[in-house]
Structure 1
Amino acid sequence: MTKVNVLNMAGETVGDIELSDDVFAVEICEHAVYEAVKNHLANRRQGTQSAKTRSEVRGGGRKPWRQKGTGRARQGSIRSPQWRGGGVVFAPKPRDYSYAIPKKVKRLALKSVLTSKVNEGELIVLDNLSLDAISTKSAINVLEKIGVATKAIVVVEENNENIVRSFKNIPNVKTAVANNINVYDIINHNVMVITKDAVKVVEEVYA
């Protein structure tokens, strides 16, 4: 098992923790990670883009000029795509971009990025993370003391309003609950800060 130092909120090392090899030391599968990220971004798309085709644009019922004898190209409607104010060829319409990928692929991708964080020294484990009140200043102080000065995702074992709202206003910092983390958020942040209890939840859910 891989051992990682455990820090307190003051940035002091207070022990270590053994991480499960089934979650934090697997063979990294880059393709699974690619599929998971592509799926996540596709599912986030609103799919509300819309434009009118020539049949939906108002007007254009009368033929602009007669078919022959004018010396100009033949035209059937002033709402054809080549006309200003005409319809759009193959106009985009609202659609659902979401799709599903196998659970095994999702799980492998998540294990791969967690393993990558451990291998690259970008995983910080805290013995506890608690704030008595909602305070962005306190949240910034915690990050400074544990040496986080870049994009970070803070993972806790359960939803805590004080923690979520305290970290919410800090640029490039995101909070997440252990049983609801995703590959994209982990990759999109340089450092992952996680509590000991959250590590146990991750190992229970994803092992």
Structure 2
Amino acid sequence: MAKITMLNMAGAEAGSIELKDDIFGIEVNQYAVHQVIKNYLANQRQGTQSAKNRSEVRGGGRKPFRQKGTGRGRQGSITAPNHVGGGVVFAPKPRDYRYSVPKKIKRLALKSALSSKVEEKEIIVLDTLKFDAPKTKEMLKVLENVKAAKKALIVMADKDENVIRSSSNIKGVKTCLVSTMNVYDIVNYTSFIVTKDAINKIEEVYS
């Protein structure tokens, strides 16, 4: 088991915590991580793009000029793509980009992402993270104390409005729960800040 030093909100050492190897110490599977991130981004697409093809644009009821004798290339309709105002070739249409990935791949990717954070020493474990009231200054002070990167993901065991509102105005900082964290966010944010309770919950859910 990997042993990680825990910090308090002041940035001082507050003991240590052992992380389970089957979640935080597996060999990183790049293929699984890539597949899940690609799936996540595809599922975010709205798919509302649309353009008209030559059968949908207005006009084109008559042949624009006679077939022969004009010196120009033959043309049957002004709705053809080579005309200004004509249809679009292979026009994009509204579609759903969503697709599913096997649960085993998702679980492997999440464990790989968590393991990579431990491997690259980008995980910061806090013994607790609580504020009496929403204070952006207090959150900035905590991030500075624990030497977090400019892009930081804060993972909590349970919803805490004070923590969420304290970090909502800080650029590059995002909060989430253990139940809502995803592979894309773990990989996308440099510092992975997680509370002791959240670690216990992750190990409980994914063991």
TM-score bucket (shorter structure): over 0.9
Unaligned runs of 5+ residues in structure 2 are none
- The one-letter code sitting in structure 2 at the alignment partner of 1:195 is T
Q: Deviations 1:13-61 (Å, cap 9, x if unpaired)?
A: 0100111111101121110111111111111111111111011111121
Unaligned runs of 5+ residues in structure 1 are none
Q: Aligned partners of 1:181, 1:11: CA distance in 2, in Å?
A: 24
Q: Matched residue of 1:179: which SS? A: coil
Q: Deviations 1:58-107 (Å, cap 9, x if unpaired)?
A: 11211101122222111111111000110000000011111000000010
Runs of 4+ in 1 over 6 A off after TM superposition: none
Are the counterparts in 1 of residues 134 and 162 from structure 2 also a CA contact under 8 Å?
A: yes
Partner of 1:87: 87
RMSD: 0.9
Partner of 2:38: 38
Partner of 1:74: 74
Report the alpha carbon displacement of residue 131 of structure 1 after superposing the two structures with TM: 1.1
Q: TM-score normalized by structure 2? A: 0.97
Q: TM-score normalized by structure 1? A: 0.97
- The one-letter code sitting in structure 2 at the alignment partner of 1:177 is L
Is 1:47 paired with 2:47?
yes
Partner of 1:142: 142
Report the alpha carbon displacement of residue 149 of structure 1 after superposing the two structures with TM: 3.5
- The one-letter code sitting in structure 1 at the alignment partner of 2:143 is L
Partner of 1:25: 25
Q: Aligned partners of 1:63, 1:50: CA distance in 2, in Å?
A: 27
Partner of 2:133: 133
Are the counterparts in 2 of residues 179 and 205 from structure 1 also a CA contact under 8 Å?
A: no
Partner of 1:116: 116
Report the alpha carbon displacement of residue 150 of structure 1 after superposing the two structures with TM: 2.1
How many percent of aligned residue pairs carry the same amino acid? 59
Q: Aligned partners of 1:61, 1:138: CA distance in 2, in Å?
A: 69
How many corresponding residue pairs?
207
1:152-171 maps to which residues of 2 (within 5 A)? 152-171=152-171
